[in-house]
Amino acid sequence: MNKLNNVKFVNESFPKTIDILNSSPVYDAKTKEDKINLIERLLKEKDAKIIAHYYTHPDVQEVAEITGGNVSDSLEMAKFGANQSSKMLIVAGVRFMGETAKILNPEKKILMPTLEAECSLDLNCPAPDLNKFREKYPDRQLVVYANTSAEVKAMADWVVTSSIAVKLIEHLNKKNIKIIWAPDKHLGSYIKDKTNADMKLWNASCIVHEEFKASSLLKLMKENKDAAVLVHPESPKNVIELADVVGSTSQLIKACKDLPNKKMIVATDNRIFYKMQKAAPEKVLIEAPTGGKGATCISCAHCPWMAMNNLDNLIETLVQENNEIKVDEEIRKKAFISTNRMIDFAKNL
């Protein structure tokens, strides 16, 4: 018998969904609708909420939305998690997002559909190496992008996301504070150009945004003269220079809605189109090109790690309560200071 038929008719006097599912390792939810129904029931039983990033599969974003969870950029994901009373958070994104949730919410159980979802920025900024870099500049404050490990956050004076990075560096620059910025060199150089702050940059980049190519983008812009160009600041400098709006994922969605242009050329992971199109159904969305000189792929504007989240591993995680994010308590306490500083700074903007 299909276990989901049971699920639909369960009431308080019947066994819980989780007991039914645990009695058999086979979760035979076949259709998307069955899977979403099952996730909804499991979330209620476990007192859990889903927090998903815009780059995850639209099905994952949809289930987060309709179950009272959250779909947003990395700052809003962190804020949402910190404001929840639920006992458990399921973070559908990449590992640093799960760790940020744990850093801010030690009392909650933080699970992820997979623990293998990494981020090239995090991977290319190991804490011991960053420490050596910092030792060269003892008179500087260390500001790290949220796309870093808990160990790196624990070393930092400040954590920041792309949505408030320019504002934070402006604030520090006004106080004549000199900065070490890690890990994203493109975001770092964009902020440095915008603020004129004294910044030493770590050398890492996002493998997804690195692929956007200015020469092909220029060609596309000539073919679509009426289009606005929206660019995430993890993109290379010559791509950023062609943008009408540069911003975090949430800021790009807002710009798509607010700008008068009907067409938008978008230089960020194309899964953002799900929410962008919902926010502005009348707009025509065009992927910025990733093919051209120096490109390693064609139209690969897609984060392979974010794509590892799906309805099946969400169900499995909810049933088995596996893939729990654990952060050493000493590291967590230190990382809390720099991460919570970001949350407080954002409150005052």
**Which of 17, 84, 147, 249 touches ligand SF4 by CB under 6 A?**
147
Q: Are 297 and 211 in contact (CB under 8 A)?
A: yes
**Closer of 207 and 318 to ligand SF4 (Cβ):** 207
Q: Would residue 196 be called left, alpha or beta, if left means φ above 0 and alpha means ψ between -120 and 50 degrees?
A: left
Establish if 184 lies at the interface with ligand 13P (CB under 6 A). Answer: no
Instruction: Choose among 320, 335, 330: nearest CA to 111.
Output: 320
Q: Are 234 and 120 in contact (CB under 8 A)?
A: no
Tokens of 23: 């009695």
Establish if 144 lies at the interface with ligand SF4 (CB under 6 A). Answer: no
Residue type at position 313: N
What are φ and ψ of residue 187, in 5° steps?
Answer: -65, -40
Establish if 305 lies at the interface with ligand SF4 (CB under 6 A). Answer: yes
- Considering only residues 188 to 227 of the shown chain, the ones binding ligand SF4 according to CB under 6 A are 206-208
Distance in angstroms (rounded) separating the CA atoms of residues 69 and 36: 13
Distance in angstroms (rounded) separating the CA atoms of residues 262 and 17: 46
Establish if 73 lies at the interface with ligand 13P (CB under 6 A). Answer: yes
**Closer of 67 and 248 to ligand SF4 (Cβ):** 248
Give me Rg for the CA atoms of the chain.
Answer: 21
**Which of 161, 205, 235, 339 touches ligand 13P by CB under 6 A?**
161
Residues 110-139 as x/- pattern, contact with ligand SF4 by CB under 6 A = ---------xxx------------------
Establish if 306 lies at the interface with ligand SF4 (CB under 6 A). Answer: yes
Establish if 234 lies at the interface with ligand 13P (CB under 6 A). Answer: yes
Tokens of 10: 């369960």
**Closer of 287 and 321 to ligand SF4 (Cβ):** 287
**Which of 91, 94, 111, 267 touches ligand SF4 by CB under 6 A?**
94
Give min distance, CB of 179 to ligand SF4, in A: 20
Give min distance, CB of 120 to ligand SF4, in A: 4
Give min distance, CB of 103 to ligand 13P, in A: 16
What are φ and ψ of residue 110, in 5° steps?
Answer: -110, 120
Query: Residue 73's binding partner, choosing from ligand 13P, ligand SF4, none, with beta-carbon cut-off 5 to 8 A by kind?
Result: ligand 13P
**Closer of 67 and 249 to ligand 13P (Cβ):** 249
Tokens of 76: 């809003």
Give min distance, CB of 204 to ligand SF4, in A: 10
Establish if 249 lies at the interface with ligand 13P (CB under 6 A). Answer: yes
Q: Which residues of 50-59 are buried (b: 16+ CB within 10 A; e: fewer)?
A: bbbbbbbbeb
Establish if 34 lies at the interface with ligand 13P (CB under 6 A). Answer: no
CB-side exposure of 93: number of CA atoms within 13 Å? 30
Q: Are 217 and 211 in contact (CB under 8 A)?
A: no
Q: How many residues bind ligand SF4 (CB under 6 A)?
A: 13
In whole angstroms, how far apart are CA 67 and each of 41, 51, 61, 71, 156? Answer: 9, 10, 10, 11, 35
Helix, strand, coil distribution of the chain in percent, nearest 5: 45, 15, 40
Give min distance, CB of 92 to ligand 13P, in A: 13
Establish if 270 lies at the interface with ligand 13P (CB under 6 A). Answer: no
Residues 306-335 as x/- pattern, contact with ligand 13P by CB under 6 A = ------------------------------
* Chain positions contacting ligand SF4, by CB under 6 A: 94, 119-121, 147, 206-208, 234, 269, 303, 305-306
